[in-house]
C-alpha cells in the first residue's frame, strides 16, 4: 500500500499533466546523447492549420537546465508563443506566500495533530526531531500541503530545485522573445489539491514520511524515464496507484483528468488563430486515454508523437 501511495505523491512532479497516432520509431532519435534528453514531444495540428508542439515536463531538476537536444530545439524554433501551466515569472514572492497561507495553512491556532492517526503522528514527530525545520510552522500546515513540503525539503537535500526545471528553462528562453501564455493559475492548482479528501491527505503524508529513504531513487527513476521519453515506464510510474487501488480515483480526477480537460479547452481556444505554439506541461498530462493530446484528438486535432527532426520537417 505504501509503495502505491508514494507513487501518487511522486506523480505531482509531472503534473502540478488515446486516440493518438504513433509514428514508426526513429531508432537513432530514441537514444539521446549523453547529457541530452529525448522526452515526450507531441504535435497537435488543428483543422485550420494551427499547431501545438507539446513537451512533457518534470517540474524539478538538478545541476542546471537540461540540454533538450535538436528535436525539441527545432520545435521551439517553429513556435511563435510559449504556453505553460503557470507563468511563474509573473508570481511574486508575496503573492506566492499569500497563496500558500490561503490554501496550505490550517486556520489560525489549529495544528495538524488532531487530523492524524497514531502512526502518522509518530512518524511526523520523528521527522521534525531529525530535520532542522521550524516544527511550529510545519505543524500548522494541512496534511496534503505538509506532504508536498516534506518532499520538497528532501529533494532540496539531494540537489533538486525548480530553477533547474524544464518549465523554467523555456520561460527563461521566452523572456523578451516570445509571448508567454498560461493555461492555469497557481491559485487553481493549489485549490485542486486542497479538495482532496481528509483520509487521502493523511495517507499521502504518511507515505511520504515512510519513503524518505527511497525518495532520491524514486525521483531518479522518474526523471530517467522522462529523459528517455519512455512512455510506458512513465505511465506505470504515474498511474500505477489508480490501477491498484480505486480509492485514488478522486486524486486523479481532481489533479489530472479535470485539469486535462480544461487545458485542452484552453488550447483549443488559443489554436483558433492558426498560429504555432510551444506548450510545456507536466509529462503526466500527456499520458493515457484521458490526456491532453487525447482530448484534442476528440476535438478534431491530428496528433502525432515527434521522434526525429526529419519527421518534424516532413509533416506539417
Tens-digit pLDDT profile for residues 136-190: 688 999 999 999 999 999 999 999 988 889 999 999 999 999 999 999 999 999 9
β-strand pairing of 51-57 with 41-45? antiparallel
pLDDT of residue 73: 94
Q: Would you list the DSSP string of 247-316?
A: GGHHHHIIIIIHHHHHHHHHHHHHGGG--EEEEEEEGGGGSSTTSHHHHHHHTT-EEEE---HHHHHH--
pLDDT at residue 36 in the model: 56
The dihedral of CA 105, 106, 110, 112: what is its sign? negative
Q: What is the mean pLDDT of the chain?
A: 86
Each residue of 3-46: pLDDT tens digit? 444 456 777 887 753 233 333 333 333 334 445 567 899 999 99
pLDDT at residue 247 above 50?
yes
C-alpha 216: how far from chain center: 17
Q: Model confidence at 76, in pLDDT bands (50, 70, 90)?
A: very high
Note the pLDDT of residue 264.
Answer: 97
In the DSSP assignment, the letter for residue 211 is: T
Contact between residue 283 and residue 17 where contact means Cβ atoms under 8 Å apart:
yes
Dihedral angle over CA of 163, 164, 166, 168, nearest 10: 20
Q: Can you tell me which residue has the cell 510551444?
A: 278
Average pLDDT over residues 285-297: 96
Cα angle for residues 3, 133, 113 (degrees, 5° grid): 65
**What are the residue ranges spanned by the domains of the chain?**
2-314
pLDDT at 225: 93
249-287: pLDDT as tens digits:
999 999 999 999 999 999 999 999 999 999 999 999 999
Residue 70 has pLDDT above 60, yes or no: yes
60: its cell numbers: 524539478
Q: Tell me what pLDDT residue 132 has.
A: 67
Give yes or no for residue 314 having a pLDDT over 60. Answer: yes
Distance from the first to the final alpha carbon of the chain: 46
pTM to 2 decimal places: 0.88
Question: How much is the pLDDT for 242?
Answer: 81
Q: What is the pLDDT of residue 37?
A: 65
Q: Are 244 and 5 in contact (CB under 8 A)?
A: no
Amino acid at each position: 500500500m505504501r509503495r502505491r501511495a508514494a507513487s501518487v505523491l511522486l506523480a505531482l512532479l509531472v503534473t502540478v499533466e488515446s486516440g493518438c497516432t504513433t509514428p514508426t520509431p526513429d531508432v537513432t532519435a530514441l537514444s539521446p546523447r549523453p547529457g541530452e534528453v529525448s522526452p515526450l514531444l507531441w504535435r497537435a495540428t488543428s483543422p485550420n492549420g494551427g499547431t501545438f508542439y507539446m513537451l512533457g515536463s518534470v517540474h524539478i531538476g538538478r545541476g542546471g537546465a537540461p540540454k533538450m537536444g535538436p528535436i525539441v530545439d527545432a520545435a521551439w524554433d517553429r513556435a511563435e508563443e510559449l504556453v505553460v501551466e503557470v507563468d511563474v515569472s509573473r508570481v511574486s514572492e508575496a503573492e506566492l506566500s499569500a497563496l500558500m497561507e490561503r490554501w496550505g495553512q490550517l486556520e489560525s491556532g489549529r495544528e495538524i495533530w488532531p487530523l492524524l492517526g497514531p502512526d502518522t503522528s509518530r512518524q511526523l514527530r520523528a521527522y521534525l526531531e531529525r530535520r532542522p525545520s521550524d516544527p511550529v510552522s510545519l505543524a500548522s500546515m494541512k496534511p496534503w500541503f505538509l506532504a508536498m513540503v516534506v518532499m520538497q525539503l528532501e529533494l532540496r537535500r539531494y540537489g533538486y530545485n525548480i530553477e533547474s526545471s524544464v518549465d523554467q528553462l523555456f520561460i527563461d528562453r521566452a523572456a523578451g522573445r516570445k509571448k508567454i501564455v498560461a493555461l492555469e493559475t497557481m491559485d487553481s492548482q493549489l485549490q485542486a489539491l486542497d479538495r482532496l479528501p481528509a483520509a487521502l491527505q493523511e495517507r499521502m503524508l504518511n507515505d511520504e514520511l515512510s519513503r524518505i529513504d527511497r525518495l532520491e531513487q524514486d525521483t531518479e527513476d522518474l526523471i530517467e524515464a522522462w529523459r528517455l521519453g519512455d512512455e510506458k515506464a512513465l505511465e506505470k510510474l504515474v498511474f500505477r496507484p489508480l490501477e491498484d487501488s480505486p480509492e485514488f480515483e478522486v486524486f486523479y480526477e481532481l489533479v489530472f483528468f479535470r485539469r486535462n480537460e480544461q487545458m485542452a479547452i484552453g488550447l483549443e481556444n488559443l489554436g483558433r488563430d492558426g498560429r504555432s505554439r510551444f506548450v510545456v506541461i507536466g509529462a503526466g498530462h500527456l499520458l493515457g486515454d484521458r490526456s491532453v493530446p487525447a482530448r484534442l484528438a476528440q476535438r478534431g486535432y491530428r496528433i502525432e508523437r515527434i521522434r526525429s527532426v526529419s519527421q518534424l520537417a516532413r509533416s506539417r
